C-alpha cells in the first residue's frame, strides 16, 4: 500500500490549481487530480489484487475533502474484503438508471434552479421527448454515438433548423454532463458541432431561410407613432417606450421605477433581466423621459407599466396593441427597424448601434479589452432616433439626416 503523506487541510486543497495529481494525505493513495481545464476530482490509487487501480471518488468541490476521505477508506475496506469497487461501479452504470433519458432528466433537475426563464426546462423536456428519446433515449448514455445524434436531428435539420440546432446543443450538454459524472469516457463529444457534425450537416444558413420578425419600414415610423400615441392603455405606452429605447419587450415589461433615473436620463437594467445576463444602461431621450413622466404612479407598485392587479404585462399585450391597429409587425420587429435606420440614415459606427440593441460586440477577446459601453455615443444616437420618429419624412430631411454623424 502507498505511504501516507502529510495531510492537507481543506484550505490547502482549495488552493491546488496546478494541473496534475496532488497527494492529499490522511488515506494512503488519495489524490486530487487537476486537469488543464481547471476541473478537479478525487482519485484513489491503490492495488486491487495484483493489479494497480485508479478509483474515481467524485468531483471537487461537490465531494468535499472529508467526504473523499470517507469514500477512500470505504473503498480500501472493500478491497481488503476481496471486492473490486471499480468493477462494482461499472456494473452499476450498466443499469437502466444510466440511459440517455435518465441522464438528461438528471441534468435538467440539476440546472432547473439556475434557469431564469421557467419555460426553459419545459422546452428542454418537450424537444428531447419529441426528437431524441424515441431514437436513443433508452440507450446507455455511454454508448451514444455520432450516428445516434445524426439519426435524431438530421430528419428536421432542413425543415426545422432552429429547433434542430437547439436539440443538438442540448444533446451535447447532456453528454458532457455524463462525462463529468463518469458515466461515459472523456473524449470527443459526438454531438459537438465544430470539427464534427459540421462535416456531416450543412450550415443553418444553407439549409433553411431564416424567418425574421415582421418589421415596419423605416419610412412608416412617424405615422405609426402618431397613431400609437392616440391608443389608450398601458400596453400602448409600453410599446411606445420600447420603440423609443430599442429595448426588448421583456425588458420593458419588467422595468421598475428604481431602475430609472429621470434626472440623469438613464435606465439601468440589471443582469438578471437581460438576455445576455449582463447589466445594460439605456440612455433616455427627452421624448422617452416625457413619456415616463406622463405615466401614473401607484402606491406599492414598482412596475413602470403595470397590468391588472399591478402585475407585469403579459408577453402578448404589446402584440395585441399591434393587432388592434392592424399593423403587420411584431414588437421585436421594431428593433430591426431601428437597426435599419441606423445603418441607412446615419453614419453611426456599427458597434454603437449593436450596443444600443444590447448585442454582443466582437469576439470574446475584443470584449475582454472593451471597458466602456459607448454610452455617450449611444445617447446621441437615441436622441437622433427620437427626433427622426417625431419628424414627418420628406425627401429633404431624409437627405439631411443621412449626412449626420454620431461623434
The CA–CA distances, whole Å, from 69 to 9, 92, 305, 321 equal 12, 22, 56, 63
Alpha carbon 214 to chain centroid distance? 24
- At residue 221, the pLDDT reads 79
- At residue 336, the pLDDT reads 87
- At residue 337, the pLDDT reads 86
Domains and CATH numbers, the chain: 10-82 (3.30.160.390), 97-207 (1.10.150.130), 218-402 (1.10.443.10)
121 and 115 Cβ atoms separated by less than 8 Å: yes
pLDDT tens string 184-243 = 887 889 999 988 898 888 876 444 444 455 667 677 777 888 889 999 999 999 999 999
| Other beta carbons less than 10 A from residue 370's beta carbon | 13
- At residue 384, the pLDDT reads 93
Tell me which residue of 199, 197, 305 sits closest to 247, measured CA to CA.
305
- At residue 363, the pLDDT reads 44
- pLDDT less than 50: residues of the chain: 1-2, 94, 96, 205-211, 362-371, 395-407
Amino acid at each position: 500500500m502507498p505511504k501516507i503523506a502529510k495531510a492537507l487541510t481543506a484550505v490547502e486543497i482549495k488552493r491546488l490549481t496546478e494541473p496534475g495529481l496532488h497527494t492529499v494525505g490522511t488515506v494512503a493513495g488519495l489524490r486530487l487530480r487537476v486537469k488543464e481545464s481547471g476541473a478537479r476530482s478525487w482519485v484513489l490509487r491503490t492495488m486491487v489484487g495484483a493489479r494497480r487501480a485508479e478509483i474515481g471518488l467524485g468531483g471537487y468541490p461537490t465531494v468535499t475533502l472529508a467526504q473523499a476521505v470517507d469514500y477512500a477508506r470505504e473503498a480500501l475496506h472493500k478491497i481488503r474484503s476481496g471486492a473490486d469497487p471499480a468493477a462494482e461501479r461499472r456494473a452499476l452504470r450498466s443499469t437502466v438508471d444510466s440511459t440517455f433519458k435518465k441522464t438528461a432528466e438528471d441534468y435538467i433537475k440539476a440546472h432547473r434552479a439556475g434557469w431564469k426563464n421557467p419555460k426553459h426546462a419545459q422546452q428542454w423536456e418537450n424537444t428531447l421527448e419529441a426528437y431524441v428519446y424515441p431514437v436513443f433515449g433508452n440507450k446507455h448514455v455511454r454508448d451514444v454515438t455520432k450516428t445516434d445524434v445524426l439519426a435524431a436531428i438530421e430528419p428536421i435539420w432542413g425543415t426545422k433548423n432552429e429547433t434542430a440546432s437547439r436539440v443538438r446543443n442540448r444533446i451535447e450538454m447532456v453528454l458532457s454532463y455524463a462525462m463529468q459524472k463518469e458515466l461515459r469516457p472523456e473524449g470527443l463529444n459526438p454531438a459537438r458541432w465544430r470539427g464534427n457534425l459540421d462535416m456531416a450537416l450543412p450550415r443553418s444558413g444553407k439549409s433553411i431561410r431564416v424567418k425574421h420578425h415582421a418589421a415596419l419600414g423605416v419610412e412608416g415610423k412617424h405615422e405609426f407613432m402618431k397613431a400609437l400615441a392616440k391608443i389608450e392603455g398601458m400596453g400602448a405606452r409600453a410599446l411606445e417606450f420600447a420603440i423609443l429605447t430599442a429595448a426588448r419587450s421583456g425588458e420593458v415589461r419588467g422595468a421598475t421605477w428604481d431602475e430609472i433615473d429621470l434626472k440623469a436620463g438613464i435606465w439601468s437594467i440589471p443582469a438578471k433581466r437581460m438576455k445576455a445576463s449582463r447589466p445594460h444602461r439605456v440612455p433616455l431621450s427627452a421624448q422617452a423621459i416625457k413619456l415616463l413622466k406622463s405615466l401614473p404612479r401607484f402606491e406599492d407598485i414598482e412596475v413602470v407599466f403595470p397590468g391588472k392587479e399591478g402585475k407585469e404585462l403579459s408577453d402578448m399585450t404589446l402584440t395585441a396593441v399591434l393587432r388592434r391597429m392592424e399593423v403587420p409587425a411584431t414588437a421585436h420587429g421594431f428593433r430591426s427597424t431601428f437597426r435599419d435606420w441606423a445603418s441607412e440614415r446615419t453614419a453611426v459606427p456599427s458597434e454603437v448601434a449593436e450596443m444600443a440593441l444590447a448585442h454582443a460586440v466582437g469576439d470574446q477577446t475584443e470584449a475582454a479589452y472593451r471597458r466602456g459601453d459607448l454610452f455617450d455615443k449611444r445617447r446621441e444616437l437615441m436622441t437622433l432616433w427620437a427626433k427622426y420618429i417625431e419628424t414627418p419624412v420628406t425627401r429633404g430631411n431624409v437627405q439631411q439626416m443621412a449626412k449626420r454623424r454620431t461623434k
